[in-house]
Amino acid sequence: MKSLIKFIGLLFLTFSLFLGIIFFIFFLYLKLSLPSISQLKNYRPEQTNVVVDINGNTIGYIGEKRRIFVPLEKIPPHVIKAFIAAEDANFYKHKGIDFFGVLRALYKNIIHGKIVQGGSTITQQVVRSLLLSPERTLQRKIKEIILAWQIEKYLTKDEILTIYLNHTYLGEGAYGVEAAALTYFNKHVWELDLNEAATLAGLPAAPSKYSPLSNPQLAIARRNYVLKRMAEVGYISWDVAKQVSSQPIILNPKNVNIPIYAAYFLDAVKNELYQILPPKIIEQGGLKIQTTLDLEWAKRAYENVIRTLNHIFANREPPEVAIVCLNNEDGGVRVLIGGRNYPQSSYNRALLAKRQPGSAFKPFIWATALEEGVLLPTAVIPDQPITLPGANKGEDWSPGNYDGKYMGPVSLKDGLAYSRNTVSVRIALLTGIGRIEKMLKKLGFNYNEPLNYSIALGTYEVTPLELTRLYTIFPNMGVLVKPYFIKRIYDKIYDSSKILYQCSSENKPVISAYTAYIMNEFMQAVVQYGTGTCAKALGVPVAGKTGTTQDYKDAWFIGYTPRYTCGVWVGYDKGKTLAKGETGGRIACPVWLSVMQGTAHEYQEFPIYMSPEEQSELLSNATF
């Protein structure tokens, strides 16, 4: 009998030793296969980049995950305590694993017959979300425990909390407490009250289930559970818990989707951003990108444009539209609309659609003739039929006026104001292709086909952005500006001390101030009594030019005030006619007016280049 007992004991000892060796080997294997925790020491998670307008208003976000990192010192104590009470009440006591918490959670789950409490510590949740795969296996759980224990020795409790509160998913696409605070309440995390803090703290367990946006009743029940836990661990009194539990959850959800009136602009920002910074920096995120957009103006402009087009094209297929508004001083793009409906078509017509500008190109023919001294401002040109050799051998080209009529001798000013085609062609002939080509080169106007005199009627294609840019030489008294979308880029979203990028405006003199002054006079006449009279309704000094292409396929109005230059194109993508009589003055000019309404309070006079006496002396009564 003694021998049997001794044998059994030896067998048990051998088996235990064998199990111990197996467990040790398994433990060693797991330890060697564990990921490194060193990356957590300098934790900088993948963040979103926040894009703001010229006034600091948030336009939208660039990045796959909407996360905005905030240091622990910017998170209020009641927010921190709400999460600790809900997720890991013994956080400051345990070393990564809370065995008593596991037993307590197990007991409560058994009592309720369902899972109402988890046993994982905040440290374990950090391990799970940053270092391990989401699979549920015994091996992964053991790794989680080992790593949690290691992290507690490697990081401080505050460092662990910082990671957790910035990394955890809180529903509706928001990662971390700052993104969640903005998403649900349109507040920064440091602005949250206890009610709002408890609401967010109830989300990690099941973000979709307890979302106050989609399941308000469940969210209230979960918030009340968090308040109860805060009272149980002594973070708040029971009276406070009871009082806050009786309150509703007042949401102020921020629309995190890009507003339709800024979507085309944001696409342009993304393109410019990748030309400025390396992809790695952009994709890491955490940047604040200050742009040139005026968000409020863009919103009003879009709403007014859609309303105007619906009115003009009632009971007809609505056309597309492209709009660019530039700040004359530096070329900052204040408004950019690339189409009627971004969700239906993200094709940015303002930047990409090359169309014939028609008569909207005539000012550059006039300006070239004046700049080169070919004509004086008081010159008179015949508005009469003209025939020239055509593009093909043996063919003639006889450009006519839109109305089929001729005015006889007209001044340069009236020829532009009334947009006389034969006058434009005659000016181009007098100026010569060589001088026109020289001017186009200075303007940076690119064309793919050999230049001919049809340039006088705007037959060479251009994008709305390019054409609007060219017009800035007039209000800028001869200086061309380069459009841009990004003003500054800051290294951190809530810290403006370090600037990664600062845009410097590119200004280039193209024509003399004298020529610009004369052209301003001429194009004010377009608005005062010519083809663009609808723009007078803005009530401030306006100059500009209409444009209509053959068969009424494109309608343009490029107009400017001393402060802004705004270009409008209306047409169909496939070049279908807008309808007979739908000219730039009738279609594009009202759209331009609807965009510019609201800027009239920024009233300025056009620059005065010379006194009336100086003008009188200079502008002799020369005629052609």
Catalytic residue among 87, 172, 178, 320: 87
So what's the pLDDT on residue 102? 58
pLDDT of 5 higher than 80: no
pLDDT by residue (tens digit) across 375-401?
Answer: 999 999 999 999 988 777 778 889 989
Give the CATH number for residue 164: 1.10.3810.10
DSSP string, 440-480: HHHHT---SSPP-GGGGGT-S-B-HHHHHHHHTTTTTTTEE
pLDDT of 22 higher than 60: no
Catalytic residue among 120, 211, 245, 359: 359
* Measured CA distances, 250 to 130, 172, 184, 227 (Å): 32, 17, 9, 16
pLDDT of 622 higher than 50: no
Least confident of 8-17, 107-116, 118-127, 480-489: 107-116
pLDDT of 236 higher than 80: yes
Residues 205 and 344 in one domain: no
Q: In this structure, which amino acid lies at residue 442?
A: K
CB 151 within 8 A of CB 43: no
So what's the pLDDT on residue 624? 35
Of 468, 494, 491, nearest to 481 by C-alpha is 468
So what's the pLDDT on residue 134? 65
Q: Could you tell me which residues come within 8 angstroms of residue 21 by beta carbon, excluding any fewer than 6 positions away?
A: none
So what's the pLDDT on residue 517? 95
Residue 279 domain-assigned (yes or no): no
For residues 330 and 229, what is the distance between their CA atoms, to the nearest angstrom? 57
Residue 26 domain-assigned (yes or no): no
Last residue of a domain, one of 186, 210, 245: 245
* Cα 300 versus chain centre, distance: 16
So what's the pLDDT on residue 505? 83
Q: Mean pLDDT score of the chain, rounded to an integer? A: 89
Residues 217 and 349 in one domain: no
Upper half-sphere CA count for residue 60 (Cβ side, 13 Å): 19
pLDDT by residue (tens digit) across 125-135?
Answer: 888 887 776 66
3-state DSSP helix/strand/coil % of the chain, to nearest 5:
45, 15, 40
Last residue of a domain, one of 245, 265, 288: 245
Percent of the chain with pLDDT over 90: 71
Of 144, 152, 82, 153, nearest to 119 by C-alpha is 144
Q: Could you tell me which residues come within 8 angstroms of residue 80 by beta carbon, excluding any fewer than 6 positions away?
A: 72, 161, 165
Residue 268 domain-assigned (yes or no): no
pLDDT of 319 higher than 90: yes
pLDDT of 611 higher than 70: no
* 317: helix, strand or coil: coil
Residue 445 domain-assigned (yes or no): yes
Last residue of a domain, one of 226, 245, 264: 245
pLDDT by residue (tens digit) across 133-171?
Answer: 666 666 667 777 888 788 888 889 999 999 999 999 999
So what's the pLDDT on residue 590? 97
CB 368 within 8 A of CB 356: no
Residues 425 and 538 in one domain: yes
Residues 329 and 241 in one domain: no
- For Cα atoms 584, 586, 588, give the angle at the middle one, nearest 5 degrees: 45
Least confident of 114-118, 306-310, 498-502, 555-559: 114-118
* 213: helix, strand or coil: coil
pLDDT by residue (tens digit) across 26-49?
Answer: 555 555 456 677 777 778 888 999
For residues 360 and 456, what is the distance between their CA atoms, to the nearest angstrom? 10
So what's the pLDDT on residue 539? 93
Q: Is the dihedral of CA 210, 212, 217, 221 positive or negative?
A: positive
Residues 137 and 240 in one domain: yes
How many beta carbons lie within 10 A of that of residue 317, not counting itself?
Answer: 7
So what's the pLDDT on residue 607? 76
- According to DSSP, residue 403 is labeled T
Residue 434 domain-assigned (yes or no): yes
pLDDT of 358 higher than 70: yes
So what's the pLDDT on residue 340? 95
Residues 463 and 346 in one domain: yes
pLDDT by residue (tens digit) across 205-216?
Answer: 999 999 999 999
- Confidence band (pLDDT; 50, 70, 90) for 448? confident
Q: Which residue has the tokens 């409008």?
A: 568
For residues 264 and 59, what is the distance between their CA atoms, to the nearest angstrom? 12
So what's the pLDDT on residue 623? 37
How much is the average pLDDT of 303-325? 95
For residues 324 and 472, what is the distance between their CA atoms, to the nearest angstrom? 12
User: Could you tell me which residue, 272 or 4, shows the higher pLDDT?
Assistant: 272
Give the CATH number for residue 603: 3.40.710.10
Of 280, 267, 335, nearest to 304 by C-alpha is 335
How much is the average pLDDT of 524-535? 97
pLDDT of 610 higher than 80: no
Residue 320 designated active-site: no
Residues 225 and 354 in one domain: no
Residues 357 and 496 in one domain: yes
How many beta carbons lie within 10 A of that of residue 20, not counting itself?
Answer: 10
pLDDT of 114 higher than 60: no
For residues 448 and 349, what is the distance between their CA atoms, to the nearest angstrom? 19
DSSP string, 521-585: HHHHHHHHHSTTGGGGGG-S--EEEEEE-GGG-EEEEEEE-SSEEEEEEEE-TT-----TT--II
Residues 365 and 493 in one domain: yes
So what's the pLDDT on residue 139? 63
Q: Which residue has the tokens 């963040």?
A: 47
Residue 572 domain-assigned (yes or no): yes
- Confidence band (pLDDT; 50, 70, 90) for 598? confident
DSSP string, 3-68: HHHHHHHHHHHHHHHHHHHHHHHHHHHHHHTSPPSGGGTT-----PEEEE-TTS-EEEEESSSEE-
Residue 95 domain-assigned (yes or no): yes
How much is the average pLDDT of 452-457? 95
So what's the pLDDT on residue 223? 97
Residue 372 designated active-site: no
- According to DSSP, residue 605 is labeled P
- Where in the sequence is the domain holding 597, given as residue range(s)? 325-618
Counting every residue, how long is the chain?
Answer: 624
How much is the average pLDDT of 348-352? 98
So what's the pLDDT on residue 439? 97
Residue 92 domain-assigned (yes or no): yes
Radius of gyration of the chain (CA): 35
- Confidence band (pLDDT; 50, 70, 90) for 572? very high
pLDDT of 272 higher than 70: yes
Structurally, the chain folds into a number of domains equal to 2
